[in-house]
Amino acid sequence: MTRETPDQAPEGSQDQPSRREQLLEVSVFLFLILPSIVFSFFLFGPWQKHFDFAQFAVSSILDYLALVALIFFFAWRNQEPLARLGWNFRNGWKDVALGITLFFPYIMGIGLLFIIYWKLGFPLPMKPIPQFFIPREGQTLLALVLVCVVAIAEETIFRGYLLLRFRAILGSSRGAILLSSAIFALGHGYKGLAGVIVTFLMGVFYAVLYLRRQSLVSPIVIHFLQDFILVLIPLFGLKIA
């Protein structure tokens, strides 16, 4: 069994753009997403009352679809198969089953991380979820579409695309995992410091799982289940602090 080099993709050797070209490409992509990442730290304030879930969901869906379309364009321009980005079903339904199976210890692990964080004496500056994150009655279908799009798009962006590009630029899988996970975590600044740290570790988990399975299927399944619970539970009369 041969060991993958940092510039090799899960699907094998393909003609690839140069490291300089990939650096320029990912720089343009980061320029597009960094403003919204920074904005995530300022979601709380009096302007919250001017937003509702429908506005948030539709704008988020359109933003994510646009970013994924841009990634697909980059792949098309570079003559890269989408399988290089993890868009493959190479392991069949095994990846779906693995994602469902791993979800339960994954959720327990997140809870344990918060407990450890608190036991070490660090504060838990977790803020309530903004009200426009919570769907109302009659918005179940929109919430479901949002959850599906977010799970697929974020895994495509942060694992399938950025991880792949950072690995080629840095020449290191570990460095790529850490950098892509850090950007992923910063996009969740509304969760507070503890939430950002835990989200970073979640990103590392997703990245390692993606590289091990050479497919985005399992990370997408876990990501979907997590967001499904967070977004749709309020529709059943339960509150999330």
Model pLDDT for residues 120-170, shown as the tens digit of each residue? 777 665 556 667 777 777 888 999 999 999 999 999 999 999 999 999 999
Q: Which of 33-42, 83-92, 183-192 holds the top average pLDDT? A: 83-92
Residue 35 in domain: no
Angle at 228 (CA atoms; ends 227, 229), nearest 5 degrees: 90
Residue 37 in domain: no
Q: What is the pLDDT of residue 179?
A: 96
pLDDT at 62 over 70: yes
Predicted confidence band at 193 (pLDDT cuts at 50, 70, 90)? confident
Give the predicted TM-score (pTM) of the model.
0.81
Residue 1 in domain: no
The alpha carbon dihedral of 36, 164, 178, 198 has a sign of positive
Residue 133 in domain: yes
Predicted confidence band at 117 (pLDDT cuts at 50, 70, 90)? confident
Residue 122 CB neighbours (<10 A): 12
The rounded distance, in Å, linking the Cα atoms of 184 and 199 is 7
Q: CB under 8 Å to 226, separation ≥6 — which residues?
A: 103, 106, 107
Distances (CA, A) of 25 to 71, 143, 236: 10, 32, 43
Residue 20 in domain: no
Residue 179's domain spans which residues? 51-236
How many domains in the chain? 1
Cβ–Cβ under 8 Å, residues 184 and 176: no
Residue 180 CA, chain-centre distance (Å), reads 9
Residue 170 in domain: yes
Predicted confidence band at 3 (pLDDT cuts at 50, 70, 90)? very low
The rounded distance, in Å, linking the Cα atoms of 230 and 216 is 21
Task: Give the helix/strand (H/E) hosting 78.
Answer: none
Residue 100 in domain: yes
Residue 74 in domain: yes
